[in-house]
Amino acid sequence: MKYGFSDRVKYMTSSAVRDILKVINQGNIISFAGGLPEEDLFPVKAVDEAFHKAITTNKKALQYGETEGVSQLRELLADRMKQKGLHRSADNILITSGSQQAIDLFSRVMFNKGDVILTENPTYLAALQVFESYETKVVAVDADDDGMVLADLEEKINQHKPKCIYVVPTYSNPTGKVWSLERREKLLELANKYHVVIFEDDPYGELQFDESETPPSIASLDENELVLYTSTFSKTVVPAVRIGWIVGPHQIIRIMAQAKQATDLHTNSIGQHALVHLLQDFDIDEHIQTIRKTYYERMLVMKRLLEKANFEGLEYVVPKGGMFFWVKLPEEMNTTELLDEAVKEGVAFVPGAPFYVSDPEQNTLRLNFTNSEPALIEEGMKRFVKVLESTYINK
């Protein structure tokens, strides 16, 4: 039977990362492909107790809830954000099904067909999927290690009249870079000058390895209601709870709440009430310190093995937080083709091309260091370097 799908379906694409994971999960492969937290660090006992309390002490946890989210959870989130210099009212917080839904709801209420979004190149793959599904035009802005290149940003604002600037300025996915404070401030200046909304995506901000080196969020510097800020508990509690949040100008958040009501009524009540108990009864900040320490140690293992690689033309930046190494190989190498050889050798990564808005650099790739114990990183990197060296020699 021929089905009458909408025209918009042709703009929907599958995630390259998810497609890779389907393949590698079928065999005995060490994976550096997914952006996965470490399961052994999940606070299982605390989560179990929190869900038990949610179900047994408050029947509202089993009932329909407010679209905006459980008010007590929003108050707790407002308090946590204040600790990071982000002073926003709980009334301006919308609880979402992970930060991914925040990107989707924002796109639904803000973008018409052909509207322009400016972003770095490369950037978060799943955000690009969302933007493309709403038939927007995503335009890449030149960037360096400190963030967007301001001259190019201003030129493209003037040229394209964007509806939004999308940024992941802290331990970004895929590059792991951290924007400098100067770039954050100048971005705000340009956004204010040209009346452009900024969407700051911050899933990794709490995974810093040295707290003194992390600049404040762009949203915390915003005095003109230009910035929407989204984050999630997927990297610091458990991904399966699927709870994120977005905070921003009241008018935008209100319309997003209306869109969410039409989508799923509200984020699951049990998870929200359980998270309230978890935040009240469990020392989540101490837990995050454990995560940071573990991920830092694993990052150092991967760094040491990259340093030992006898491979000319290998480039990478040592991450100061987050979950990823972004690696560049000699220009003549194609990491999509290289992946096939790596899987045969029993190791996997994500080729860099799908993260690009335009002009993809086929010689790039992303390595995740958070989801493998040091011994597995050791073995996986040996396999990875072996593939690199043998492919390079054959070139």
Q: Are residues 132 and 158 in the same domain?
A: yes
135 in Cβ contact with 113 (< 8 Å): yes
**390, two tokens:** 């043998």
Domain that holds residue 319: 7-42+286-394
Residue 214's pLDDT band (cuts 50, 70, 90)? confident
Q: Are residues 221 and 353 in the same domain?
A: no
Q: Which residue has the higher pLDDT, 3 or 195?
A: 195
Give me the amino acid identity at 41: L
Q: What is the pLDDT of residues 24-45, one digit of tens each?
A: 666 688 999 988 999 999 999 9
Nearest to 185 by CA among 158, 220, 221: 221
Q: Are residues 109 and 227 in the same domain?
A: yes
Q: Are residues 183 and 163 in the same domain?
A: yes
Q: Is residue 2, in this structure, part of any structural domain at all?
A: no
Q: Are residues 134 and 192 in the same domain?
A: yes
Q: How far apart are CA 156 and CA 142, in angstroms?
A: 10
Nearest to 116 by CA among 67, 151, 165: 165
Q: Which of 246, 281, 316 is the last residue of a domain?
A: 281
Q: What is the pLDDT of residues 291-307, one digit of tens each?
A: 999 999 999 999 999 99
Cα angle 79, 81, 82; round to 5: 65
DSSP-derived letter for residue 215 is: P
Q: Are residues 268 and 338 in the same domain?
A: no
Mean pLDDT, rounded, for 69-81: 97
Q: Is residue 235, in this structure, part of any structural domain at all?
A: yes
pLDDT at 128 over 60: yes
Share of the chain above pLDDT 70, in %: 94
pLDDT at 395 over 60: no
Give me the amino acid identity at 176: G
Q: Are residues 228 and 340 in the same domain?
A: no
Distances (CA, A) of 346 to 24, 156, 240, 326, 340: 9, 43, 27, 20, 10
> Tokens 């915390």 label which residue?
220
pLDDT at 9 over 90: no
Mean pLDDT, rounded, for 34-63: 95
Q: How far apart are CA 64 and CA 268, in angstroms?
A: 8
Q: What is the pLDDT of residue 18?
A: 61
Q: How far apart are CA 317 and CA 303, in angstroms?
A: 9
Residue 150's H or E segment, with its range, is helix 150-160
Q: What is the pLDDT of residue 292?
A: 97
Distances (CA, A) of 54 to 91, 97, 270, 274, 275: 23, 18, 7, 5, 9
Mean pLDDT, rounded, for 129-134: 95
pLDDT at 19 over 90: no
Distances (CA, A) of 224 to 191, 193, 217, 221, 332: 10, 11, 15, 9, 46
pLDDT at 181 over 60: yes
Q: Are residues 247 and 367 in the same domain?
A: no
Q: Are residues 101 and 148 in the same domain?
A: yes
Q: What is the pLDDT of residue 309?
A: 84
Q: Are residues 258 and 308 in the same domain?
A: no
| Count of domains forming the chain | 2
* Mean pLDDT lowest among 9-13, 58-62, 68-72, 378-382: 9-13
**374, two tokens:** 């040091």
217 in Cβ contact with 85 (< 8 Å): yes
Q: What is the CATH number of the domain that holds 28?
A: 3.90.1150.10
Strand, coil or helix: 392: helix
Q: Are residues 329 and 265 in the same domain?
A: no
Q: What is the pLDDT of residue 2?
A: 77
Mean pLDDT, rounded, for 3-25: 66
Give me the amino acid identity at 393: I
Length of the chain counted residue by residue: 395
Q: Are residues 162 and 223 in the same domain?
A: yes
Mean pLDDT, rounded, for 325-346: 93
Q: Is residue 201, in this structure, part of any structural domain at all?
A: yes
